[in-house]
Structure 1
Amino acid sequence: YGFINTCLKSLVVEKYGEETWEKLRLQAGVQDSFLTFEVYKDEITMQLIDKACKVLGVPADMVLREFGKYFFEFCKRSGYDHMLRTLGGNLYEFIENLDALHSYLSLSYQASFDFICFFPQKMNAPSFRVEKNEDGSMHLHYYSDRRGLCHIVPGIIGAAALDFFNIEISMKIVNQTEEEERTGKKEHIVFLVTQNPVFPYKERNEFSSSPQCLVDSEKQIENQLNKEDLEKAKNKTGDRGNSVCPVKKIHICLATGKLLRGFDPVYPKSLWIDTKTFCNGLPFHIVFDKELKVKQAGVSIQKIVPGLQTMGICLDQYFRIIHPEVPFTISSIQKFINSQFVFQTRREMMPESWKQRPMLELRGQMMWMEPLQCMLYLCSPLLRTLHELEERQMHIADIAPHDVTRDLILLNQQRLAEMELSNQLERKKEELRILSKHLEEEKKKTEALLYAMLPQHVANQLKEGKRVEAGE
């Protein structure tokens, strides 16, 4: 999208000047400005990055890293600050939810593009998966169809870590492969991420000789509070004897109801919900086993895909995985279990009435049920606009009242109108800029012609609108 190219232009102009940008874009053979929601070819971005390396005399990895840092700040300035800040309470959660952010943005960007241009255009964003290590470091897995852009990631993640969580990180590539078994985003880069807290100047000197990796501040606070509890217990029981009873960790202050420390959920001994209510209350859910055989399905998904009413059929006969782009196997699903999964119905398996309609997409999360050795896919229909709802001959009533998809469709409809207005304003602004540029060029030509025909002092007087007396 034009948002990326606009960010790249802003970086060059801000750090190196307008002349450098003009030189760079002329060498790349691209236009001077880009519309935010307009789709541009990847080749334009790659050309700009390639020419930037040559014009600035800087290696590609350094240019991409710098672009990553600037892109993070550019997103904040463009109104995405609060959205980014709420992704997670720590760096691990932030990275874990990046795919969810891309999924949300794709709803708006794709829907707006479909609304304007009337043909689908998928946002092809990279995908992320993160793993915690025992030593506190992390392995960040980056998947993309665009090869050679992986060095943007350390720039973005490093800037987010410092700004949101006050920690400095180091990232290095430990593995780089091509995963042919994947259905897309075959480039797989693994980064080792280690972090060190950013202390005030005095504290930083004390800790500089012992770098720490992925320190969890919540655990430190909890351990400190537990120590204080033990000390208080010892003081209270010191007069009674030497033996100290174990102190039970208190989670909730009963007087105020405030959560003090960790939370331990309470589960009922048996599930207080019958099968029929569960399937009606969660109309879009599927339970399947290791062999992908369907064990249970919600009522709405049964209505749309009648084949699911035959328990024991294989799920991959009726659906394909759109995101993440992995094979439809239980091992692949478990590997990406923290990601959002998007399923799409197979046209050849749909009822005759669906043959001419766009295929239904479902988006949700996977939950592995160890005691049952089954997977629960808790999902909702992936619909962006009322038009998409009508195309599939579905109704708001088909979606559960508690499902926020209802609100999302209606709110997105309003947002589309705002985005269309923004697009029109951007186009008018660009047209005015071009007209102004042409006017300036014509003005220069007129002045050159005036100076060629008349003496300079006469021409200057005419330009200033003064009256010139005829002379010899």
Structure 2
Amino acid sequence: MGCCFQASCTSGRTVCSQDRRTEYGELTWERVKEEAGCKTTEFTNQKIYDDNLIIRLAEACANILEHGDHLDYLRIFGRWFVRFCSDRNYDKMLRITGRHFCQFLTEMDNLHSQMKYGFPKMKSPSMVVTEYDSRGRANRTRGNSAGGGAVLLYRSVRRGYSHYLMGQLLQIANDFYHLPLEVTILREDHEETPYCTTFRLDFRNDGFVQEMLQRRAGFNRTSLPSFTLGKLFRLFPFGIVLGPELKIRLAGERILQMLGKEMLEADFLDHFTIQRPHVKLTWESIMMFQSVTWEVESKKLPKINTTNVMMPDGSYSSNTLSCVNDMPTRRGSSQAPWTGERSSLESSRGLLLKGQMYILKDPGVALFLCIPLLNNLVEMRETGLFLNDLSMHDLSREMVLSGWHHCSRLQIMYNRAEEDSNKLEDAYMKVEEAKTRADDLLYSMLPRQVADILRQGKNPLETCQAFEEVSVLFAEVSLMEDQDLTHTVNKVYQTIDNITDQYSVFKVETVLGVYMVVGGAPEYQHDHSAQLASLALHMIKQSEECKTHNLRIGIHVGPVVAGVVGMKLPRYCLFGDTVNTASRMQTNSQVGKIHISEICARHLEKFNFVTTFRGKLQIKGKGEMNTYWLEGRKESAKSSWK
């Protein structure tokens, strides 16, 4: 079903967020959003999202949940979308679309055609049943006579939505028609737009087939006297007869009067353009789309009646527009009909016709039985039509008069709704921008994993973790002489922060000119010591180049306990002897040097870093310790490891 709501405001994104959150929890949903690149996005019914977003969400679900591939999740999303429609009472329209499932499929294009007026930005797909039978392919192989199926041709400007549609079809067949359904993709063509997919649907279809056979039998039994097409077009004054070569053989008297008799025996496409369905006009496409509403627009402007009327002062004036070229361009929302400023159909100046293409096999012609699309009296004036030109057996007269009565009120409501929608969309954009800034600030204060836990309202104690082994770095920053203190300090720490962001480490805090960084927490890294050593070397190199500050760095490796401390101003803190020892390494270091403990040196040797033995030092609170200088890393390791 693409579904008629798929192309409206949310394209099913809100559905995915609500059902996914319910089934797998808020934390999993946040991980999925982050994986899909929409971490700060809040899904609403009032906003239109990128078409590829639902594909990325499905891929993210497959990567994180590890149950099936992204196509499985697209089908799940399609099922959830039908549930979403049912929960909000949108299913009432879908349930009355067709008595049988096959009728439902054949009517979807017409339903999309009607819904475009309520959803002007809708990118509705096209669905056509090209074949149907009472014994489906799967049922024939099983020997089951109570089966059937259909071949469905699906076209859409959205690429990759075939499995999303499959999920919708499966859910609709189950919920609305209580039918088991099997869906198979026979062919996919993604080379040209619109993208085309051919499905084979296997389901119990004998009821629809029997109804069609009875309808044909009843039609064949009817005996009518000789009835010419000329008489038919008195009933359909805007109708057109096409031959297999797509030339206009006959047309109604009103359309000939408005567009000229030269259109007879001319190619249909020389005088009209196809607005809907979105197919190339061929005899085969007419046969395929007989049950679909066609909309065409004349390339030639209607001939406007310019009969002169005597005015009270004795002069003569045209009773309609004075010149065809003065006809204003139509647009999506009409002004009040009495202003005469604009009419209601979008970006069109030709005559718009809407109706059904129907093929008569015996004479071998196609009938386009149509009526003009006119929403109000302004459009009648523009096209030079009068009420007596419209048929009495359809509702075209009532539609025009009804539009005249209600146009003003509808216009005001439309303008208000459009204004409210724009304000709401702007408000959501500002909310997302503010949420992004808040998240960036939060992630700069706390590790991302810890911040996500706290955002769910959990107790900070739940963030506490014990790590058997991490690396801790302390760097003392001292400014050189003759420097502007405020400006230089800010610039130095910004530079160090930018360097730190390039490695898989976390900046814990800055206190009294000492910069503290941890590697391996809160997310464990097997190469945490190497990441921190590379950071330290980078910091020393940068300080030597900029010549604004000096650094003394110390590193130690060992166990710690880490977690968020405080409620009013929460901080991610490390506790344990490892922190004290790393601090002692820094205080006993020298300017421009990286002082490391013996256990840290053993770790770094595994990653091809170069260290030299400094000697035994008396460390406060630790006694005598073997310590080392970190000199760099081997050239062979620089290109293979970062």
Local SS of the residue matching 2:186: strand
Matched, 1:316 2:269: yes
Contact 2:248 2:265 in 1 (8 A): yes
Match of 1:288 among 227, 242, 260: 242
Contact 1:133 1:139 in 2 (8 A): no
Residues in 2 aligned to 1:297 and 1:132: alpha-carbon distance in whole angstroms: 33
Matched, 1:99 2:54: no
Shift of 1:127: 1.1
Contact 1:322 1:343 in 2 (8 A): yes
Residues in 2 aligned to 1:405 and 1:9: alpha-carbon distance in whole angstroms: 44
Match of 1:3 among 6, 10, 16: 10
- 1:191 counterpart residue number: 199
Structure exhibiting the larger radius of gyration computed from Cα positions:
2
- 1:353 counterpart residue number: 324
Local SS of the residue matching 1:151: helix
Matched, 1:133 2:88: no
Q: What amino acid maps onto 2:167 in structure 1?
A: G
- 1:201 counterpart residue number: none
Match of 1:375 among 366, 370, 376: 366
User: For residues 261-315 of structure 1, what are the alpha-carbon distances to aligned partners after superposition, in whole Å with 9 as ceiling and x for unaligned?
Assistant: 9983563431568836x43432321111112221222233334422x55421221
Residues in 2 aligned to 1:145 and 1:318: alpha-carbon distance in whole angstroms: 27
Q: What amino acid maps onto 1:281 in structure 2?
A: L
Match of 1:162 among 174, 177, 195: 174
How many residues are paired up?
372
Residues in 2 aligned to 1:272 and 1:297: alpha-carbon distance in whole angstroms: 16
Gap change, CA 1:39 and 1:290, over 3 Å in 2: same
Residues in 1 aligned to 2:159 and 2:42: alpha-carbon distance in whole angstroms: 25
Shift of 1:79: 3.5
Shift of 1:408: 5.5
Shift of 1:329: 2.1
User: For residues 98-123 of structure 1, what are the alpha-carbon distances to aligned partners after superposition, in whole Å with 9 as ceiling and x for unaligned?
Assistant: 1111111112212xxxxxxxxxx5x3
Gap change, CA 1:300 and 1:34, over 3 Å in 2: farther
Shift of 1:61: 1.1
Local SS of the residue matching 2:85: helix
Local SS of the residue matching 1:62: helix
- 1:66 counterpart residue number: 76
- 1:279 counterpart residue number: 233
Local SS of the residue matching 1:97: helix
User: For residues 163-183 of structure 1, what are the alpha-carbon distances to aligned partners after superposition, in whole Å with 9 as ceiling and x for unaligned?
Assistant: 222111111112223576xxx
Matched, 1:153 2:124: no
Alignment of 1:387-406 (within 5 A): 389=379, 393=383, 397=387, 399-405=390-396
Local SS of the residue matching 1:79: coil
Matched, 1:28 2:42: no
Residues in 2 aligned to 1:146 and 1:432: alpha-carbon distance in whole angstroms: 25
Gap change, CA 1:437 and 1:47, over 3 Å in 2: closer
Residues in 2 aligned to 1:321 and 1:219: alpha-carbon distance in whole angstroms: 34
Contact 1:28 1:51 in 2 (8 A): no
- 2:22 counterpart residue number: 14
Local SS of the residue matching 1:343: strand
Contact 1:362 1:380 in 2 (8 A): yes
User: For residues 181-215 of structure 1, what are the alpha-carbon distances to aligned partners after superposition, in whole Å with 9 as ceiling and x for unaligned?
Assistant: xxx52x222222112xxxxxxxxxxxxxxxxx434
Local SS of the residue matching 2:119: helix
User: For residues 67-109 of structure 1, what are the alpha-carbon distances to aligned partners after superposition, in whole Å with 9 as ceiling and x for unaligned?
Assistant: 1111122223333322111111111111011111111111221
Local SS of the residue matching 1:9: helix
Contact 1:108 1:416 in 2 (8 A): no
Gap change, CA 1:320 and 1:424, over 3 Å in 2: closer
Contact 1:343 1:362 in 2 (8 A): yes
Greater per-residue helix proportion? 1
Match of 2:91 among 81, 87, 107: 81
Q: What amino acid maps onto 1:169 in structure 2?
A: L
In the superposition, the TM-score normalised over structure 2's length comes to 0.49
User: What is the CA RMSD across the aligned residues, in angstroms?
Assistant: 4.3
- RCO higher in structure (CA 8 A, sep ≥6): 1
Q: What amino acid maps onto 2:200 in structure 1?
A: L
Local SS of the residue matching 1:129: strand
Residues in 1 aligned to 2:96 and 2:390: alpha-carbon distance in whole angstroms: 27
Matched, 1:267 2:222: yes
Contact 1:396 1:406 in 2 (8 A): no
Contact 2:258 2:302 in 1 (8 A): no
Shift of 1:390: 6.8
Local SS of the residue matching 2:170: helix
Residues in 1 aligned to 2:190 and 2:80: alpha-carbon distance in whole angstroms: 28
Gap change, CA 1:10 and 1:335, over 3 Å in 2: same
In the superposition, the TM-score normalised over structure 1's length comes to 0.65
Local SS of the residue matching 1:188: strand
Q: What amino acid maps onto 2:9 in structure 1?
A: G
Residues in 2 aligned to 1:217 and 1:338: alpha-carbon distance in whole angstroms: 15
Local SS of the residue matching 1:326: coil
Residues in 2 aligned to 1:50 and 1:417: alpha-carbon distance in whole angstroms: 44
- 2:606 counterpart residue number: none
List runs of 5+ in structure 2 lacking aligned partners.
Answer: 1-7, 136-147, 305-322, 330-347, 443-565, 570-642
Matched, 1:302 2:256: yes
Contact 2:58 2:71 in 1 (8 A): no
Local SS of the residue matching 2:165: helix
Shift of 1:387: 9.3
Gap change, CA 1:401 and 1:418, over 3 Å in 2: farther
Q: What amino acid maps onto 1:80 in structure 2?
A: Y
Contact 1:319 1:343 in 2 (8 A): yes
Contact 2:247 2:266 in 1 (8 A): yes
Residues in 2 aligned to 1:86 and 1:395: alpha-carbon distance in whole angstroms: 35
Shift of 1:14: 3.4
Contact 1:360 1:392 in 2 (8 A): no
Local SS of the residue matching 1:275: helix
Shift of 1:347: 5.6
Gap change, CA 1:53 and 1:177, over 3 Å in 2: same
